[in-house]
Structure 1
Amino acid sequence: MRVLLVGAGGVGTAVTRIAARRSFLTHMVVADYDLARAEAAVAALGEQGTRFSARRLDASDQDAVRTALVDERCDVLLNATDPRFVMPLFEAALAAGTHYMDMAMSLSAPHATAPYEECGVKLGDEQFAQAAAWEASDRMALVGMGVEPGLSDVFARYAAEELFDEIEEIGVRDGANLTVEGYDFAPSFSIWTTIEECLNPPVVYEKDRGWFTTAPFSEPEVFEFPEGIGPVECVNVEHEEVLLIPRWVDARRVTFKYGLGDDFIAKLKTLHELGLDATAKVAVPGPDGPVQVSPRDVVAACLPDPATLGDRMTGKTCAGTWVKGTKDGSAREVYLYHVVDNEWSMREYGSQAVVWQTALNPVIALELMATGAWKGSGVLGPEALPPRPFLDLLGAYDSPWGLREER
């Protein structure tokens, strides 16, 4: 399999370190707007880097991406950029006749008059609008194939197939006890994406109502996370699982809740109140005249790069899917989960826990595509494909998953 990886940031670099240890990969082209960053990702692989090369590429330039896919004879484009670049990359892969995979879907837009009640443009709507074209091309666009979304969706499908006869509710729950020494505020993942997820109206799915929205940080609950992480307060956040799972898994309710903490929520609210979450560019005085900058990009530039925080970070991160329903006439409740200890991921891969956990899952999906265990056409979510081969490979990658019976 020949792969064009677009994006050599924290997650993209972790992808290369994981993929370098697997034999399914024929060649991976590591592409980034900053050529030096792509070259550094390849160079860091050392003797394991013979199947990797670096290339400069602007993810917003659809024609350039299509040309790169054709020139490099790639089978699939793996998108490791932020969600702003989903559509040009998605459409470039379709135009080039290759498969496509991402870890976050096309952006949403709130409802014009009732943002905390009704959905406007939903996450992934632009991609699913092109499903027929992907089916006609006999190519697969596998969307939302990170950890959340991604592994969480695989868990949902596995629960529906093997653990339950009927499902009342599926709730993705994400929590951690990670701390970063020396920083008062240092998000462990892209602040650009975190702002997008946390300040947009969260989406909830109910079978008799469909998709609807609530206010940010609604429905707080304390969830007990496994392997020593403990209780964390979680709140509703906009996330792709709520849009993906109901398309393929029958459940009466689907939610996503993120363990943020009061301090983190307060800082996000302050950014919003100051307008610093905005993506529209504003004019800022510069030495040679006004400069157009995005307030959110300024916030991101002022914060430490999450990929560089691993040496200062301690603790664990947990991604998982809580499922409630019935099996053989009896009530059942389980939590399927995946925990990564930052000390382990830094020692084994040199990548901090959150970016490593995110990067692991698309590499497993690529391997399943390469072997033919996962195949299809159209725009598909992870829950559209067989879950057992994926979960079995987690163990082969030395990162097993767990299941906790709640009752």
Structure 2
Amino acid sequence: MRVLMIGAGGVGDAAARTAVERDYFERWVVADYDLGRAEATVAAASARRPGETRFVAAQVDASSADAVSALAREHGATHVFNAVDPRFVMPIFEGALAAGADYLDMAMSLSQRHPERPHELTGVKLGDEQFAAASQWESAGRLALVGIGVEPGLSDVFARYASDHLFSEIDELGTRDGANLTVHDEHGNEIFAPGFSIWTVIEECLNPPVVWEKGRGWYTTPPFSEGEIFDFPEGIGPVECVNVEHEEVLLMPRFLDAKKVTFKYGLGEQMIGILRALHELGLDSTQPVDVKGVSVSPRDVVAACLPDPATIGPQMTGKTCAGLWVTGTGKDGQPRATYLYHVVDNEVSMREYGAQCVVWQTAINPVVALELLAKGTWRASGVLGPEAFDAKPFLDLLAAPKPEGYGSAWGLEDREPMREPIATAQRPETD
């Protein structure tokens, strides 16, 4: 296996630091628009293993399918791993196919809201552009494994595991994400510093959330709707979670049988307030505006003004939890409610990988998936989500102690069914 990873930001850097411990690939090319950043990732990853020579750096324009294809051919890449913002999904996706390589990403092609009824009806959904090309990938005998980060990704693996091993009938597949992370400045004051790309956070949280129900299909709600208190494990505790647009809702119904699919994110009052303010000021827009003769995207300015998520690990404390809340009927015919989850402590990820927990938790999953593909444990062609593959080998490899596995345990809790969601009508809707 020869991997071309595009993106040396927080997630790409963490993926390289994790992959260097494994032996399943012969070359790992780290490509970024900023060659210096790619070189820094190669140096950091290689330093973790004496004598390491498989990592090389390259420069690439991720907005150009031709550039991606040319670089993949130059290095004989068998797999193109997309580790950049979702706005670059389609050129990288198309460039990989043109080069005859398989493809993996952690976020799918972008959505476009319904022009007249955005909080009721879907427009162009996440991943629609990629699934429209499924026949081309199938004809070429190539695989595009989409949404294989943590959410989407590990949450979708959990869904397949629950469907195969825990439930005979599923009422709801509900991704629930929460954390108790804080970031402090050099004086010990808590500061606002998202653990993930603010560009992506804005895209996810201000777009109309999507819900799927059997018999109704996909529909949308207002941002931050249908709040509920969810109790996260391992000391994180109760967090209010709200509807957010996310790929799981677009992936799971394509491959699994459930009555309802949702995604709710524990944003917190501060994040919700900031996102609302950005929207009201127009700073969430990606359309360039003229500033004293310079054309700039407001959202890019916001991202540039905040700390790089890749750099805040030493200032961060706490844990992050990604998981799936499943309700329905168990294999024994009795009602069942189960939370499958993965918790990462920032102190541990920083100590072991030099990566803050949010980006590392995202990065480990495509690295695991690539190993399963390299070994032939997972194999297919077309455009597929993680639900299309047997979940047990993935979860076994993720949790198995090193060096056989990745030494990152996941958990399962059976609980009582949740109470009704709390009301959030006191919050004004976002257009």
Task: Tell me the TM-score normalized by structure 2.
Answer: 0.93
Secondary structure in 1 aligned to 2:160? helix
Deviates more, 1:47-56 or 1:226-235: 47-56
Q: Which residue of 2 aligns with 1:245?
A: 252
Write out aligned runs for 1:253-264 (5 A): 253-264=260-271
Distance, in Å, in 2 between the alignment partners of 1:82 and 1:352 is 18
| Residues 244-276 of structure 1: CA deviation (Å, up to 9, x unaligned) | 000011000000000001111001000000000
The AA in structure 2 aligned to 1:401 is W
For residues 371 and 252 of structure 1, the distance between their equivalents in structure 2, rounded to whole angstroms, comes to 34
Residue 213 of structure 2: aligned partner: 206
2:378 to 363, 370, 374: 374
Distance 2:82 2:299 in 1: 21
- Between the aligned residues of both structures, percent identity stands at 67
Is residue 228 from structure 1 mapped to residue 207 from structure 2 by the alignment? no
- Alignment of 1:273 onto 2:277: no
Structure 1 unaligned blocks of 5 or more:
none
What CA RMSD, in Å, does the superposition of the two structures yield over aligned residues? 0.7
d(CA) in 1 for partners of 2:248 and 2:132? Answer: 18
Residue in structure 2 matching 1:131, options 134, 150, 166: 134
Q: Find the aligned partners of 1:113 and 1:12 in 2 and give their Cα distance.
A: 38
1:156 aligns with 2:175: no
Counterpart of 2:28?
A: 28
Corresponding residue for residue 83 of structure 2: 80
Indicate yes or no: 2:348 matched with 1:344: yes
Q: CA deviation at 1:47?
A: 5.9
Take 2:63 and 2:282, find their aligned partners in 1: how far apart are those partners? 25
Rounded to whole Å, the distance in 2 between the matches of 1:170 and 1:5 is 31
> What letter matches 2:31 in structure 1?
A
3-state SS in 2 of match to 1:112? coil
- 1:70 lines up with 2:66 in the alignment: no
- For residue 187 of structure 1, what is the aligned residue in structure 2? 194
Secondary structure at the aligned position of 1:260 is classed as coil
Matched, 1:37 2:46: no
Distance in 1 between residues matched to 2:209 and 2:171, nearest whole Å: 20
Query: 2:17·2:48 contact (CA, 8 Å) conserved in 1?
Result: no
Q: In the aligned structure 2, how far is the partner of 1:100 from the partner of 1:147?
A: 17
The AA in structure 1 aligned to 2:316 is M
SS at match of 1:283: strand
Runs ≥4 residues deviating over 4 A: none
Rounded to whole Å, the distance in 2 between the matches of 1:171 and 1:87 is 27
SS class of match (1:165): strand
User: Which among 120, 138, 143 is matched to residue 117 of structure 1?
Assistant: 120
Indicate the residue corresponding to 1:387 in structure 2: 391
Instruction: Find the counterpart in structure 2 of residue 306 from structure 1.
Output: 309
Spell out, residue by residue over 1:117-158, the C-alpha distance to the aligned partner (whole angstroms, 9 max, x if none).
000000000000000000000010000000000000000000
**Given the two structures, how large is their TM-score scaled by the length of structure 1?**
0.98
Q: Does structure 1 retain, via aligned residues, the 8 Å contact 2:172–2:326? A: yes
* Unpaired segments ≥5 residues, structure 2: 400-404, 417-431
Deviation at 1:184, TM superposition (A): 2.6
Cα deviation, 1:292-341, whole Å, max 9, x if unaligned, reads 00000000000000110000000000000000000222100000000000
Whole-angstrom distance in 1 between the partners of 2:25 and 2:411 = 28
- Residue deviations 1:371-403 (CA, integer Å, cap 9, x gap): 000110000000001100000011120101000
1:48-67 matched pairs, under 5 angstroms:
48=49, 49-67=52-70
Instruction: Give 1:232's aligned amino acid.
Output: V
- The answer to whether the aligner puts 1:398 opposite 2:395 as a matched pair is no
Q: Distance in 2 between matches of 1:10 and 1:393?
A: 23
